[in-house]
A and B are shown apart, each in its own frame.
Chain A
Amino acid sequence: MKKSLLVSMSVLSASAMTMTIMTGSAFASAKHSSAVTTIDWAASPISNVGIRKALIQLFEKTHPNIHVRLTSQPTNTDTNRASLATEISGGSATPDVFMGDVVWPGQFASAGLALPLNHYFPKSYFNSFAPGLVQGATYKGKVYGAPFFMDAGFLYYRKDLLAKAHLPVPKTWEQLANDSKVLLKKHLVRYGFVWEGASYEGLTCNWMEYLTDAGGQVFNAAGKPVMNSPAAVKALTFMRSLIASGVSPKSVTTFQEPQAMNVFNAGDAAFLRNWDYAWSNSQTKGTSVVGKVGVVPMPTFAGKKGPGYGNIGGWNLYINPHSKNIQADVTFIKWMTSVQAQTVLASKYSEIPTNNQVQHDPKIKKLNPVLAIVGSEHLVPRPAQSPNYPKVSSAIYQNVNAALSGQVSVQTALNNANSQLASASSSSSL
């Protein structure tokens, strides 16, 4: 490993440079011979594998002068980022357009890996998106990504179990814990609540929800880390109590989405915190919970105005600053975020559209219960407006996970997180 790390760093960047030279000349000759522009779109598989190709086909039908070539990226978001960063930082002109996580703008903008879009799109274009999304793609006053499809944390619950025990759908965290305890006492289910508690990005997403519900923040308005506030203590103490009281299994500290999903689909949990895809995933043949699942916005803490906060996830479309086909890239992105494409995304593939008009279309809302409640959920972004967001996030999830697995106390974990957040914001650190 040690050697391959060294080698891959330099070899990959070297090969990326050769690729630039090669593709550069290829494009030059292509332009002379025909009027068709080929652009390369790098995207990881979207939950339904056929989406990318279906959208490309629709786009090419109405835009015969632009040919889109799909480069399939790794499904692991970190590996995807590593591969894009290696290509683009090496000066490669491809991919022209890439699909990237909503938490990338700060890091990609400061590393010169994404083109600021303001110059190429009219102001009115950015007003077509659901509120908050463009702000999330903005770094130092410039927009770096066009919101493509969005995601958020939702609370999934077992309708049949709650009915059996005559319990209401929980609107607060306390109620969720109590409902779970009742169900466990009656031996109706093995576990109360499953969520994502492993030491990885997904825990940062879960954490943002509890923290914001409790009234806390990661950074204050002045940019100072404030993750050791009383609100943060309340949030983390509650998360720990879920495990200590048996509402959540001890192994929740090793769960990513698939593990939490498996437990819920097997009928072993009453509640699940997960993203948009969990709806269709739980309703596919072969799970034990078909027809028994309901979905609502996340709960909040007792005494706060509900509903609770759902963390924003999803993907943006970015342009490679070295792209030789920026006009075609812009046309492609405009179409992908248009009413037509977004309607296909939502109606055929149940992705949450970013286009405000489509998101609020009553016909779309009727399609499935997740699309119906998106508009009513409170959304909170992760603190991604920093070029060092990956370090910010690992400072959060590593320490929260350490507290959840009982290695350190709540206060120690939050103090450690806070001091790591302070050093994460400095230019160079590990």
Chain B
Amino acid sequence: MVSPALLFVALVTLFPIGYSIWMSLNHIQSSTNGFQFSFAGLSNYKIVFNSPLFHQALIFTIVYAVVTVLVELVLGLLVALAINQPIKGRGFAIAIMLIPWTLITVISAQMWGYIYNGVYGVLDYLMQSLHLINSPIVWLGTPNLATISIMIADVWKTTPFVTMILLAGLQLIPSDLYEAAKIDGAGAFRSFFSVTLPLLRPSLALAALFRILQAFGLFDLPFVLTGGGPGTSTMSIAMLAYKAIFNDFEYGPGTAVAVITVLIILIMSLISIKAFRAQVGEVEE
């Protein structure tokens, strides 16, 4: 009974992955007679690892992933703690909060593009009206500012997602634990660090895992906001793979970038899962 289902899964997921790995090991030339493969060993990987553009894209993507995931976890936790209180209009607040998350990224990116616009941007207008700046800042015009601007757009969009996962985690914590802590004389801080945080760690790990997976696949925000610019400073590895395959027809090196990306994500995920298990064990002790 299981084998046809497994076979189906294998066809749908394993075949494309296997085929991509095979592509990354070949020199591929498109011709009138279809794709011409000639085995090239690891030469595509050599091209990728020697490419300054790949180094730059890799560093940008890692910095982006680390910063956004950390900020989103902290902010998401704060918001989750706030709305975990039995306050009036909580349902409404949750619904409002989910709007950024439900917006399609290319559309919200376009919206941020208008906010950051260096001539008519809302952000510059606000800051000038408040006399915080004298002349407009070109938010997407220098590498550091552009990187930060993209990060802000990401944090705005995905913090609600982290909040939701953490809120679910918070609601799983039995309230008698807090009562017990109170009886033992623990204050708000003590009960947060001794009860909430340890019991929330599986949810935190889960949120982190999902976010890391997504952050390494970063594509739509810089694609819409900067096109990878200024220069190449906001080009992510996914954009690099896309550019190589679909613009430059460099199928071999392009798929090599894609395979490397998958490997990096796999390693990151394994680390996250391991951390998750260790934490569950810690709680049981």
Complex CA gap A206/B265 in Å reads: 39
A9 close to B229 (CB less than 8 A): no
* One of A27-35, A233-241, A370-378, A401-409 at the interface: A401-409
Chain B CB count within 10 A is highest, among A85, A428, A430, for A430
Cβ of B34 and Cβ of A405 under 8 Å apart?
A: no
Please give the distance in Å from A218's CB to the nearest CB on chain B.
17
Q: Decide: B143 and A407 in contact? CB cutoff 8 A.
A: yes
Question: How many Å from the CB of A318 to the closest CB on chain B?
Answer: 13
Contact call B247/A9, Cβ cutoff below 8 A: no
* Sample of 6 A–B contacts (CB below 8 Å): A81-B246, A81-B247, A199-B232, A251-B138, A251-B141, A394-B243
Given contacts A5-B245, A78-B247, A405-B142, contact A254 B118 (CB under 8 A): yes
For chains A and B in complex, what number of residue pairs have CB atoms within 8 angstroms? Answer: 168
Give CA–CA (A407, B257) in the complex, Å: 26
Give chain A nearest CB distance to B23 CB in angstroms.
Answer: 7
The 10 closest A-B pairs by CB, nearest first: A251-B118, A199-B229, A402-B231, A1-B217, A82-B246, A112-B32, A112-B31, A405-B230, A430-B51, A111-B30
Contact segment of B12-20, B168-176, B271-279: B12-20
In the complex, A228 Cα to B16 Cα: how many Å? Answer: 43
A6 contact from B32, B228, B246, B262, Cβ within 8 A: B262
- Interface magnitude class on chain B: 35 or more
CA distance A5 to B246 in the complex (A): 10
Could you tell me which residues of chain A, from 214 to 264, have a CB within 8 Å of some CB in chain B? Answer: 249-251, 253-254, 259, 262-263
- Rounded to whole Å, the gap between the CB of B39 and the closest CB of chain A is 14
- A5 and B242 contact, Cβ closer than 8 Å, known pairs A428-B252, A429-B47: yes
Q: Which residues of A contact B117 (CB under 8 A)?
A: 251, 259
Residue of A nearest to B18 (CB): A10
Instruction: Check if B249 sits within 8 Å of A254, measured CB to CB.
Output: no
List of B residues within 8 angstroms of A85 by Cβ = 30, 246, 249
Whether the pair B30, A10 counts as a contact (CB closer than 8 A) is no
Report yes or no: A430 in contact with B257, Cβ–Cβ below 8 A: yes
CB contact between B231 and one of A86, A89, A407 (< 8 Å): that residue:
A407
Q: Is the CB of A398 within 8 A of B232?
A: yes
Contact present for B118 and A6 (CB under 8 Å)? no
Contacts of B249 in A (CB 8 A): 85, 107, 111, 390
CB-CB under 8 A from A314, the residues of chain B are: none
Bound CA span A12–B162, Å: 33
Q: Of the candidates B30, B43, B47, B229, which one forms a contact with A401 in the assembled complex, judged by CB atoms under 8 Å apart?
A: B229
Q: Check A111/B29 contact, CB under 8 A, given A254-B118, A398-B229.
A: yes
Query: Could you say which residues of chain B place their CB within 8 Å of the CB of A250?
Result: 118, 136, 138, 141
| Assembled-state Cα–Cα distance A251/B15 (Å) | 46
A405 to B262, CA, bound (A): 33
Q: Which residues of B contact A268 (CB under 8 A)?
A: 119
Contact between chains at A9 and B47 (CB < 8 Å): no
**B16/A6 in contact, CB under 8 A:** yes
Of B17, B48, B246, B259, which is within 8 A of A430 by CB?
B48
Name B residues whose Cβ lies closer than 8 Å to a Cβ of A. Answer: 15-17, 19-20, 23, 27, 29-35, 43-44, 47-48, 51, 53-54, 117-120, 136, 138, 140-143, 216-220, 226-233, 238, 240-253, 255, 257-259, 261-262, 265
Give the size range of A's interface with the partner.
Answer: 35 or more
Q: Check B119–A251 contact: CB distance below 8 A.
A: yes
Quote the shortest CB–CB distance from A79 to chain B (angstroms).
8
Min distance, Cβ B138 to any Cβ of chain A, angstroms: 4
Most central of A82, A199, A391 by chain B CB within 10 Å: A199
Question: Among the interface residues B33, B142, B246, which one has the most CB atoms of the partner chain A within 10 A?
Answer: B246
Besides A199-B230, A251-B138, 14 new A-B residue pairs in contact (Cβ under 8 A), listed by A number: A1-B218, A2-B265, A9-B19, A10-B15, A10-B16, A81-B247, A111-B30, A112-B32, A249-B138, A254-B230, A322-B32, A390-B248, A402-B231, A407-B233
Q: Which of B17, B23, B231 contacts A405 (CB 8 A)?
A: B231
In this complex, the member of A6, A90, A107, A401 whose beta carbon has the largest number of chain B beta carbons within 10 angstroms is A6
Q: Which of B228, B246, B262 contacts A199 (CB 8 A)?
A: B228
Residue of A nearest to B244 (CB): A430
- Contact call B34/A91, Cβ cutoff below 8 A: yes
Known interface pairs A1-B238, A6-B16, A81-B246. Does A430 touch B227 (Cβ–Cβ under 8 Å)?
no
Q: Decide: A253 near B230, CB < 8 A? Known: A10-B16, A11-B16, A407-B143.
A: yes
Q: How far is the CA of A1 from the CA of B242 in the complex (A)?
A: 10
1/0 per residue, CB under 8 A from B, across A92-116: the answer is 0000000000000001000111000
Q: With A and B bound together, what is the CA distance between A394 and B53 in angstroms? A: 12
**A388 and B218 within 8 A (CB):** no
Closest beta carbon of chain B to A237's beta carbon, Å:
18
Cβ distance A399 to chain B, nearest Cβ, rounded Å: 7
Task: Give Cα A402 to B219, complex, Å.
Answer: 21
A65-97 with Cβ < 8 A to chain B: 78, 81-82, 85-86, 89-91
- From known contacts A390-B248, A394-B243, infer whether A429 and B119 are also in contact, taking CB-CB under 8 Å: no
Q: Which residues of A contact B216 (CB under 8 A)?
A: 2
Give the CA-CA distance A263 to B121 in the complex, in Å: 12
Q: Return the chain A residue nearest B118 by Cβ.
A: A251
A381 close to B (CB within 8 Å): no
Complex Cα–Cα for A406 and B233 (A): 13
**A401, B230: Cα distance in complex, Å:** 6
Q: Mark A387-419, 1 if CB is under 8 A from B, else 0.
A: 010110010001101101111100000000000
Q: With a CB–CB cut-off of 8 A, which chain A residues contact B258?
A: 2, 5-6
Q: How far is the CA of A2 from the CA of B237 in the complex (A)?
A: 9
A81 to B248, CA, bound (A): 10
Which B residues are CB-close (under 8 A) to A253?
A: 138, 141, 229-230
Check A398 against B231 for contact (C-beta < 8 Å): yes
Asked if A198 is at the interface of the complex by the 8 Å CB criterion, the answer is: yes
Distance in Å: Cβ of A243 to nearest Cβ of chain B: 10
Complex contact A321–B119 (CB within 8 A): no
| Bound Cα distance from A266 to B170, whole angstroms | 51
With A85-B249, A254-B226, A390-B248 as contacts: A1 and B142 at CB distance below 8 Å: no
* Distance between Cα atoms of A6 and B232 in the complex (Å): 23
Given A249-B118, A251-B117 in contact, is the A391-B231 Cβ separation under 8 Å? Answer: no
**Closest residue of chain B to A83, judged by CB?**
B246
Measured between beta carbons, the chain A residues less than 8 angstroms from B226 are 199, 254
- Measured between beta carbons, the chain A residues less than 8 angstroms from B252 are 428
A119 at the interface (CB under 8 A from B): no
Q: Which residues of chain A have C-beta atoms less than 8 A from B232's C-beta?
A: 199, 398, 402
**A349 at interface (Cβ–Cβ under 8 A)?**
no
